[in-house]
Amino acid sequence: MGKGVNTVFRPAEWDNSEEKERPKLEYLVTNKKTPPVELYLTAFASACSAEIVGYPFDMCKTRMQIQGEIASRVGQKAKYRGLLATAMGIVREEGLLKLYGGISAMLFRHSLFSGIKMLTYDYMREKMIVPDEDGRPQLSFLGSCISGVLAGATASVLTNPTELIKIQMQMEGQRRLRGEPPRIHNVLQALTSIYRTGGVVGLWKGTVPNTWRSALVTIAAMTFANAF
């Protein structure tokens, strides 16, 4: 008779090394940690894409804020009261392209701010990882909020001069309409002007409100994106 066939089956011993070495964080698209350079560049590119669409709103916001301050000083009413009236006034008196006046300063700001914010958030998020009941790594909502606050605040403090540069370039159109000589032509000239006027301290004027704003915006943008 031929040789008998062994019909005893044994459960396969699967290699669980990949399952045991689970990534620290669960990402929205992949389970691979994004390299720092790639994270920095993609943050900058995405911020610039959004800014190109929404920049006219930021321009109108700055004009409304500055015009309100000037009007209150001289005891007059603000020339433009609403968003639409402000935008139409800029187009009518200065031209359509002036809605994007100073956008080079905004892009310069994002080349620093967005990358620093994302790198800081990614670093802090890893530090906030805690194991859940099953021992798996998990990022709590509170931990994500803390990471968002620290990321937004850190990036805002470090890049506050770029925010001042943007505001100065946005207001340049108003100076020319009043017949005053041009003061700011580019980012470097704006930076030099701020430094000559207020020194190093002047470069960080308005840091506190800008930092609070950036911290809260980062919570909304990053924390809730991870939560849902």
Task: Report the C-alpha gap between 149 and 217 in whole angstroms.
Answer: 9
Task: Report the C-alpha gap between 151 and 145 in whole angstroms.
Answer: 10
Q: What is the predicted pLDDT for the residue at 214?
A: 92
12: amino acid identity, one letter: A
What is the DSSP code (8-state) at residue 131?
E
188: amino acid identity, one letter: L
Q: Is the pLDDT of residue 65 over 90?
A: no
More confident of the two residues 6 and 147:
147
Which domains, ranges and CATH numbers included, belong to the chain?
33-227 (1.50.40.10)
More confident of the two residues 201 and 130:
201
Q: Which of 98, 105, 109 is nearest to 56 (CA)?
A: 98
Q: What is the pLDDT of residues 166-200, one digit of tens each?
A: 888 877 766 666 667 777 778 888 889 889 988 99
The model carries a pTM of: 0.72
Q: What is the predicted pLDDT for the residue at 27?
A: 45
**pLDDT tier for residue 67 given thresholds of 50, 70 and 90:** confident
Q: Is the pLDDT of residue 217 over 60?
A: yes
Q: What is the predicted pLDDT for the residue at 3?
A: 52
Q: Is the pLDDT of residue 142 over 80?
A: yes
Q: Is the pLDDT of residue 96 over 80?
A: yes
Range with the lowest mean pLDDT among 15-24, 36-45, 141-150? Answer: 15-24
Q: Is the pLDDT of residue 28 over 50?
A: no
Q: Is the pLDDT of residue 152 over 80?
A: yes
Q: Which of 200, 101, 222, 113 is nearest to 162 (CA)?
A: 113
75-98 mean pLDDT: 79
More confident of the two residues 155 and 138:
155
